[in-house]
Chain A
Amino acid sequence: MSELSRLTIAEARDRLAAREITAVELTEACLAQIEAADALGAFVHKTPEIALERARAADARIAAGEAKPMTGIPVGIKDLFCTKGVPSQAASRILEGFRPEYESTVSQQLADAGAVMLGKLNMDEFAMGSSNETSVYGNAVNPWRRGNDETALTPGGSSGGSASAVAADLCLAATGTDTGGSIRQPAAFTGIVGLKPTYGRCSRWGIVAFASSLDQAGPMTKTVRDAAIMGAAMMGHDPKDSTSADLAVPDFEAMLTGDIRGKVIGIPKEYRMDGMPSEIEALWQQGAEMLRDAGAELRDISLPHTKYALPAYYVIAPAEASSNLARYDGVRFGHRAKLAQGDGITEMYEKTRAEGFGPEVQRRVMIGTYVLSAGFYDAYYNRARKVRALIKKDFDDVFAAGVDAILTPATPSAAFGLGEMAEADPVQMYLNDVFTVTVNLAGLPGISVPAGLDAQGLPLGLQLIGRPWDEGDLLNTAYALEQAAGFVAKPARWW
């Protein structure tokens, strides 16, 4: 039974369709794994009753011949998604006790497709972080270890719980969100696939906002095929989100031919960073060669404004966050501080927000407030917006010149130890996003594919960046890379 949770979405779908297994069996297998995996800290709210109810409904649907590709597939949902009647607190104390009266569009679409929600997954508070260490629940842990070294490693962030759960086979797949790399970096740290779709592909309605112009939901899966299947179920136009694109979602899975002959893969010179581990440099090289061997043409390209991406990102994202997080004031929902006699509304705001937000969130709210304030707006926010436009133009130019996809490392390192960055300058943590933020700033689709292990046995990922709205082509290139890399390693179970 325990083997069932190791299945991919595609395998499970086929076995469900063949009536070899039931959705209830599959779900029970996952629930058993989750119960045994508290040490990973991945699931922060478990919903076994909902899961079994949906599994039974899925079995009935399959029996009736009305199954869709996600029907009966047990998945985890990042805590950032509002799920009706189920705690949804963005891993923050300030949303303590918050059970929304509504279901996010993405999780609703998955439910409508028959997917089974197992529970809510750990993350960095308000999706702000790259190590899952800012969570009010305590951090999720990476199922991978450095050989026999028992040091607990980060699963990455902010979708750390999602990555940990998928990598440890607690579920078949999970939802993530990606504002600056929060799907792709944890996917790379845990040896799984993470797709950030084009901005506007997945509805943001019902997802707790971090930085609205950058946030995008996406699937975190064991294979590229699974990302294609689950991604298609998550995407689609939503009139409730004004930034959602009114475009048809193609059958991505049908586009996975593995044939990338004649495709042009850009290798951007600006992503060759000083001090980058040689293993990552080598992996990047190998990945490029694999794609060339599969028939693609490699082309050296330049994305000249790359070096300004991280600073621009750390102006724009906190600016939007400072405004998005203003609603957490203790007036209507979530945490409200106990007030002293004579305290007024200002004290209520100050105490509630001081208690409710962790240090990283407070830091970003303050940075954001500062860069938007009178006298600094032009120097920071407006300049960052201009940089953002230039970064987007860099990509536009490259795609216009015939490049189909861009290959880069996903992260500048393998997973690091939990607590290792505790004393470091916050900027050290922000550097984790160096290869991924450009994609968010330009609104492009990006995917992280596990491509190898480092000398300590930790997974490393490569990132492919595609043309806007062309996730199908991007997934096919990722599929070719996945086939060539042949990454099949699994973490040794210690939990």
Chain B
Amino acid sequence: MLDLTYPAPKPKVIAGAKHDWELVIGLEVHAQVATKAKLFSGASTRFGAEPNSNVAFVDAGMPGMLPVINEGCVAQAVRTGLGLKAQIHLTSAFDRKNYFYPDLPQGYQISQLYHPIVGEGEVLVEMGDGTARVVRIERIHLEQDAGKSIHDMDPHMSFVDLNRTGVALMEIVSRPDIRGPEEAAAYVAKLRLIMLYLGTCDGNMQNGNLRADVNVSVCRPGAYERYQETGDFSHLGTRCEIKNMNSLRFIQAAIEHEARRQIAILEDGGSVVQETRLYDPDKGETRSMRSKEEAHDYRYFPDPDLLPLEIEQAWVDDIAAHLPELPDAKKARFLGDYGLSDYDASVLTADLDAAHYFEAVVAEAGDGKLAANWVINELFGRLKKEDHAIADSPVSPAQLGGIIRLIKAGDISGKIAKDLFEIVYTEGGDPARIVEARGLKQVTDTGAIEAAVDEIIAANPAQVEKAKANPKLAGWFVGQVMKATGGKANPAVVNQLVSAKLGL
């Protein structure tokens, strides 16, 4: 298998009023674990249920209730860790993060501060221009989600929905390796893709099942390299954390804005205050949520209701042995086995359904490059017109494979193939039968074509003279023959016969 190696992208440079600046970005991505039950209770995690209908006594913080770990969530975290080539910690532990809020019924969130289940890993983030950033993962820990406070239902009261309370989240923490807004968005997109492949998070950002806190600082060119050499963070600028963003577009816009805000402060001779900020997508700006001084003292301590979480290497090995092929491996295989271009391989692996579809077409048609062309150019284009997802494609891989097989056998021309595709798309049916039934089959019978060529040469003596003088004009005869045969003549055969008859 090919190893995917790319040069690193250049860091984004923002020109300030006085000089150039670079960005340093690290992300904490919160991914809801795809499981049926919550992290420490048997309550359902189904989205969109009636408020407060998916709530166990322990989720509501009732007296005397105790958490019991859901093994399925642990397996998903391990799976995610393995997918990010990360270290799996056989012993981890849960801590309580204490703060008061009505949607946090226990008065603490159970998290893993001191001993996370997953340690260091890495993610290859391709930028689509032949460069890619390797972003290091610092850790992944399991924690409980909070509920939802609803302030706009009543002028005097707030309401609380505990359905989400206690749902398992994975917090995936990156190192400050990301150097621009586009990289940040691409990083989140890649994490999302990997988790979709793994089946560990449904990646639904709109529902808040995947959201990110972004740490942004700015520095002068060269400073980041000094940080890299020394590991000394003091070479970097003071960071601000932008909380809770659930769109790739917002992530980019917020980083861009936040960097410019910091640059303006610094160039004015001021200093950036470390704080937590919120992004307002309507105004396109970030605003202060709380400063470092106002930061909560969470009083983390080991949760005495839970023993350390011990897992066995054999169990981890078993999960590892059953991991699906991941995006990088799939892409490398598409490049190596099918000879696809980097672009085509990226497009086809960026969506697991597309990759599966593509491979099913190849299995049918036996030609990777041709299959990639047809899937990306014809199928995707056609689906996009009607805003269909690939899963809803009216053309099955077997049908598209059938069309490609007909092209390869020389039974139909490329042009006819496109017409055939449209017929299959709108009307359905077996491509080979349609070709038979509608007489779309390409004419390769030399006799029939020869007759047509002779007829046209005989009818157009003036054109024959011109073509003999200028062989480029032979194309006119080819066109006429194709027209006469309803496009079904094999163009190669026509070319050859026209040249021969004209004595070119």
Contact = CB atoms under 8 A, between A and B. Distances in A.
Helix, strand, loop or mixed for chain B's interface? loop
B304 A206 contact: no
B297 interface: yes
A82 B25 CA distance: 50
Interface string B32-76: 000000000000000000000000010011111111110000000
B68 A242 contact: yes
A102 B68 contact: no
A205 B102 CA distance: 24
B61 A327 contact: yes
Contacts of A329: 100, 102, 107
B146 to A, nearest CB: 13
B301 A95 contact: no
B98 A82 contact: no
Given A331-B160, A332-B105, A101 B57 contact: yes
A116 interface: no
B139 interface: no
Contacts of B160: 331
B313 interface: no
Interface string A240-284: 111100000000000000000000000000000000000000000
Contact of B63 (A208, A240, A331): A208
Nearest to A80: B64
B307 A243 contact: yes
Contacts of B69: 242
Interface residues of A, number: 43
A207 B364 CA distance: 63
Interface stretch (A28-36, A65-73, A367-375, A412-420): A367-375
A211 B304 contact: yes
A481 to B, nearest CB: 33
Interface in B56-114: 57, 60-69, 96, 98, 100, 102, 105-108
B393 interface: no
Interface string B275-298: 000000000000000000000010
A204 interface: yes
B304 A104 contact: no
Interface stretch (A218-226, A318-326, A456-464): A318-326
A209 interface: yes
A345 B105 CA distance: 14
Nearest to A316: B304
A377 interface: yes
B299 A373 contact: yes
B301 A205 contact: no
Contact of A242 (B60, B63, B64, B66): B66
Contacts of A207: 64
Contacts of A95: 63
A47 interface: no
Contacts of B100: 326, 329, 349
Contact of A100 (B62, B106, B299): B62
B299 A323 contact: yes
A362 interface: no
Contacts of B63: 82, 88, 90, 95, 98, 100, 208-209, 327, 333
Contacts of A102: 57, 62
B306 interface: yes
Given A323-B107, A323-B299, A240 B304 contact: no
A359 interface: no
Nearest to A90: B63
A426 interface: no
A323 B301 contact: yes
Contacts of A88: 63
B305 interface: yes
Interface in A178-234: 204-209, 211-213
Contacts of A209: 63-64, 305
A312 B48 CA distance: 47
A239 interface: yes
A82 B58 CA distance: 14
A207 B64 CA distance: 5
B102 A82 contact: no
B106 A374 contact: no
Nearest to B67: A242
A327 B299 contact: no
B341 interface: no
Most buried by B among A81, A208, A332: A332
Contacts of A327: 61-63, 105-107
A243 B305 contact: yes
B158 interface: yes
A204 B301 contact: no
Given A243-B305, A329-B102, 15 more contacts: A90-B63, A101-B62, A204-B66, A207-B64, A239-B68, A242-B306, A242-B307, A243-B307, A323-B107, A323-B301, A326-B108, A327-B61, A331-B102, A374-B297, A381-B301
Interface of B: 57, 60-69, 96, 98, 100, 102, 105-108, 158, 160, 297, 299-301, 304-307
28 contacts: A82-B64, A88-B63, A90-B63, A100-B62, A101-B62, A205-B64, A205-B65, A206-B64, A208-B64, A209-B64, A239-B68, A240-B68, A242-B68, A242-B306, A243-B305, A320-B304, A322-B98, A322-B299, A323-B107, A323-B108, A323-B299, A327-B61, A327-B107, A329-B102, A332-B61, A345-B102, A345-B158, A372-B98
Q: Which 9 A-B pairs have the closest CB atoms?
A: A326-B107, A213-B304, A212-B304, A372-B299, A327-B61, A206-B64, A208-B63, A82-B64, A374-B297
Interface of A: 81-82, 88, 90, 95, 98, 100-102, 104, 204-209, 211-213, 239-243, 319-320, 322-323, 325-327, 329, 331-333, 345, 349, 369, 372-374, 377, 381
